Homo-oligomer: A and B are copies of this chain.
Amino acid sequence: MSPAASRRSATAFAITLLILEIKVPEVGTHGDLWGALGAQWPSYAAYVVSFLVIGIVWINHHQVFGYVALVDRTLMFLNLLLLLVVAAVPWPTAMLAEYLREDEASHVAAAVYSLLMVVVALTFQALWWHLTRTGHLFDPRVDIPAARATRLRFALGSLAYPVTVGLAFVSAPLTLAAHGLIAVYYAFNQVPVPTRD
């Protein structure tokens, strides 16, 4: 198992830890469990969005590393950094779910959530720049000049994340929805690794 594969395992693990943040609702003996469950909707929404976000990072990471033949120390370190921020996602997820319906705190929680996503995107960018800059880490199938040419488009695509930080101060639920949409967008519009024909 390669270190990249281990890292994917760790991502897989981070994704399953998300459910631990959803608590069993407490009701009295004759309490209304349906009502208590309904009141928990921010937890479900945050779970689904964070699951998609981590999942898409995981899939894209897998796609890219399918073309990586060599791992140098910098790549390993960037990989570890990416894991550090992705593994942290359950924490702002729980915080956003808890404060989503409160006035001021909801903006703070949404901003922190968005900021973490900015860091995830930046780390992924750094990884992609390192791979395309060095070139020799890719396997021979990869068209390196074409891969370099994707960098600007890839960077522009990541600009959606800083925008969500601003959006956090408008509306926290909207911010959460935006992250869900970005995840689905990246699921269907990923920058492909260009290969020689």
Contacts and interface: CB of A to CB of B under 8 A. Distances in A.
Contact of A105 (B15, B31, B88, B89): B31
A100 to B, nearest CB: 12
B18 A20 contact: no
Contacts of A59: 3, 76, 80
B62 A24 contact: no
Contacts of A15: 10, 83, 87
A17 interface: yes
Contacts of A58: 3, 6
A88 B7 contact: no
A9 interface: yes
A8 interface: yes
Interface residues of A, number: 61
Contacts of A76: 59
B73 A24 contact: no
Interface in A19-45: 19-20, 22, 24-25, 27, 29-31, 33-34, 37
Interface of A: 1-3, 5-20, 22, 24-25, 27, 29-31, 33-34, 37, 47-48, 51-52, 55, 58-59, 62, 73, 76-77, 80, 83-84, 87-91, 94-95, 98-99, 102-105, 108-109, 112, 187-188
